[in-house]
C-alpha cells in the first residue's frame, strides 16, 4: 500500500505498554457477549471462569489494581520500537482514510459521520463494553464508539492464518469501522433487538449478516481508497481476500475442532466473507451491501 506521507488521524489513542486492572469491567464484557457465550459448551465454560474471576475480585474487595486507574491504565508513556511506531503511524493513516471515505458517503445522504476513536493497547484494555484481552481480537464497542486493537493480532493473522500484508491489516481496521457505520445507521440496534427475542439459530444468522455487511463496507472503503487516492499496489486486493477467507467460520471451526457446525456460525463462511468484501470493493456503493435482503 502507498500510505506513507498521508494524513494521520487525530482520533488514535495509543495505550500500548500500559497496564489495566484485571477486575474492572469484566461483568460488562460478559454481558455484551452473553448471547453468544451461552450457545456453546466452551462459551459456558468461559462464563463460569469469568464469573469466578469477577465475583472473586468483588468478594476480596479488589476493584482496581494498586496504582492503576479504572479509566484504562498507567500514565507512564510507553517505550516503543521504531517498528511499533511505524505500525502506529500506519493505523493512524488508515483510520484517517476511512474518515474521509465515510464523510463523503454519508453526509450527502444527510447523515452525520461521527468519527470514532481507535485505541491501541497491549494485552488487555478497558472499554464501555467491559474489559477485553488481546485474545478477543480487534473489536468495536458501540457504547463508547471506539475501535480497540492489539497490534499483535497482525502477527497472528500472518503466522497462524497465513494472511500477511498491509492491505490485509487495513481490511481488519476497515471491517471494525464498518461496525461503526452500522451503529450510526441503526442497523446494529435492529439486529440486537432480533437477537434478544429470537432463537439462538436466528440470532446467529443475524450476526452473520451483520458481519458480512461490515465486510462489504470494508470493501467500499477499499474501492474509494484505490480509485480516488490510489493507495493500493498490485497484489493488495488479494491480501485482503486471503485475510477474509482465513477468518471464515467454517475454516476456523475446521482448524479448531475438525468439524463444521453451520448453525453456530456468527461471522460467515470464508466464501461469503470474500464475496461480500469483493462486492463492496468492486462497486464502492453501500446500497450493494444489503446482506439482510433474502438469503
CATH number of the domain at 33, please: 3.40.390
Count other Cβ atoms within 10 Å, centred on residue 30.
18
The pLDDT of residue 30 is above 80: no
Return the pLDDT at 51: 43
- Any bridge partners for residue 126, and if so which? 131
Q: What is residue 79's predicted lDDT score, i.e. its pLDDT? A: 85
User: To the nearest whole number, what is the mean pLDDT of the chain?
Assistant: 85
pLDDT of residue 167: 97
Establish if 1 belongs to a structural domain: no
Count up the domains in the chain and report the number.
1
Give the Cβ contact number of residue 246 at 10 Å: 19
Q: Check if the beta carbon of residue 146 is closer than 8 Å to that of residue 173.
A: no
Record the cell numbers describing residue 89, joined without a space: 503511524
Question: Does the structure show a pLDDT above 80 at 259?
Answer: yes
d(CA 150, CA 142): 18
pLDDT of residue 32 exceeding 90: no
Q: Is the pLDDT of residue 33 over 70?
A: no
3-class secondary structure, 120:
strand
Q: Is the pLDDT of residue 45 over 80?
A: no
The answer to whether position 294 is within a domain reads no
Angle between helices 187-197 and 200-227 (to 10 degrees): 160
Banded model confidence at residue 56, pLDDT cuts 50, 70, 90: very low
Q: What are phi and psi of 286, to 5 degrees?
A: -70, -20
Contact 121, 16 (CB under 8 A): yes
Residue 2 resides in a domain = no
CA 100, CA 186: separation in Å to the nearest integer? 21
Q: Which domain holds residue 53?
A: 12-289
What pLDDT band is residue 146 in, cutting at 50, 70 and 90? very high
> Does residue 7 belong to any structural domain of this protein?
no
Give the model's pLDDT for residue 52.
Answer: 38
Is residue 23's pLDDT more than 70? no
Q: Is the pLDDT of residue 104 over 80?
A: yes
Residue 124's alpha-carbon distances to 14, 52, 61, 263, in angstroms, are 13, 18, 21, 30
| Phi, psi values for residue 132, rounded to 5° | -130, 145
The mean pLDDT of 100-111, rounded to a whole number, is 98
Element (H, E) at 14: strand 12-14
Question: Is pLDDT of 233 > 90?
Answer: yes
pLDDT at 163 over 70: yes
Most confident of 45-54, 234-243, 254-263: 234-243
275, pLDDT greater than 90: yes
Mean pLDDT to the nearest integer, 80-100: 96
Residue 108 CB burial class (10 angstroms; 0-12, 13-18, ≥19): exposed
Q: Which residues contact 61 (CB under 8 A, 6 or more apart)?
A: none
Q: Model confidence over 172-224: pLDDT tens digits?
A: 999 999 999 999 999 999 999 999 998 899 999 999 999 999 999 999 999 99
Q: Vertex 266, ends 25 and 169: CA angle to 5°?
A: 75
Give CA–CA dist 252/137, Å, rounded: 14
pLDDT at 25 over 50: no
Cα four-point dihedral sign 80, 82, 88, 92: positive
Distance CA 283, CA 278 (A): 8
Does residue 3 fall inside a structural domain?
A: no
All residues at 6 or more sequence positions from 235 whose CB lies less than 8 Å from its CB, including other chains: 165
Domain assignment of residue 188, yes or no: yes
Q: Tell me the pTM.
A: 0.81
Q: What three-state secondary structure class fits 126?
A: strand
**Residue 19: closest CA among 75, 61, 63:** 75
What are the cell numbers at 21?
486492572
The Cα–Cα gap between 240 and 273 comes to 10
CB 211 within 8 A of CB 267: yes
6 belongs to a structural domain: no
Mean pLDDT for 71-80 is 57
With bands split at pLDDT 50, 70 and 90, how would you rate the model's confidence at 21? Answer: low
Amino acid at each position: 500500500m502507498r500510505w506513507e506521507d498521508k494524513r494521520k488521524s487525530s482520533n488514535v489513542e495509543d495505550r500500548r505498554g500500559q497496564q489495566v486492572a484485571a477486575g474492572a469491567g469484566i461483568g460488562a464484557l460478559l454481558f455484551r457477549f452473553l448471547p453468544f457465550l451461552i450457545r456453546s459448551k466452551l462459551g459456558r465454560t468461559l462464563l463460569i471462569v469469568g464469573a469466578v474471576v469477577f465475583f472473586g475480585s468483588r468478594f476480596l474487595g479488589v476493584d482496581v489494581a494498586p496504582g492503576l486507574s479504572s479509566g484504562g491504565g498507567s500514565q507512564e508513556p510507553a517505550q516503543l520500537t521504531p517498528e511499533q511506531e511505524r505500525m502506529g503511524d500506519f493505523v493512524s493513516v488508515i483510520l484517517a482514510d476511512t474518515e474521509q471515505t465515510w464523510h463523503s458517503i454519508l453526509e450527502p445522504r444527510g447523515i452525520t459521520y461521527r468519527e470514532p476513536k481507535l485505541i491501541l493497547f497491549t494485552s488487555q484494555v478497558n472499554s464501555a463494553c467491559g474489559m477485553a484481552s488481546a485474545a478477543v481480537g480487534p473489536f468495536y464497542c458501540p457504547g463508547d464508539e471506539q475501535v480497540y486493537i492489539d497490534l499483535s493480532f497482525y502477527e497472528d493473522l500472518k503466522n497462524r492464518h497465513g494472511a500477511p500484508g498491509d492491505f490485509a491489516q487495513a481490511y481488519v481496521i476497515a471491517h471494525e469501522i464498518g461496525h461503526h457505520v452500522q451503529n450510526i445507521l441503526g442497523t446494529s440496534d435492529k439486529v440486537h433487538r432480533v437477537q434478544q427475542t429470537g432463537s439462538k439459530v436466528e440470532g446467529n444468522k443475524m450476526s452473520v449478516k451483520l458481519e458480512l455487511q461490515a465486510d462489504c463496507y470494508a470493501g467500499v472503503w477499499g474501492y474509494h481508497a484505490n480509485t480516488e487516492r490510489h493507495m493500493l499496489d498490485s497484489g493488495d486486493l488479494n491480501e485482503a481476500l486471503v485475510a477474509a477467507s482465513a477468518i471464515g467460520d467454517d475454516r476456523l471451526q475446521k482448524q479448531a475442532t475438525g468439524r463444521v457446525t453451520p448453525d453456530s456460525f456468527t461471522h460467515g463462511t470464508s466464501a461469503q466473507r470474500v464475496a461480500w468484501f469483493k462486492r463492496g470493493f468492486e462497486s464502492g456503493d453501500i446500497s450493494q451491501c444489503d446482506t439482510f435482503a433474502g438469503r
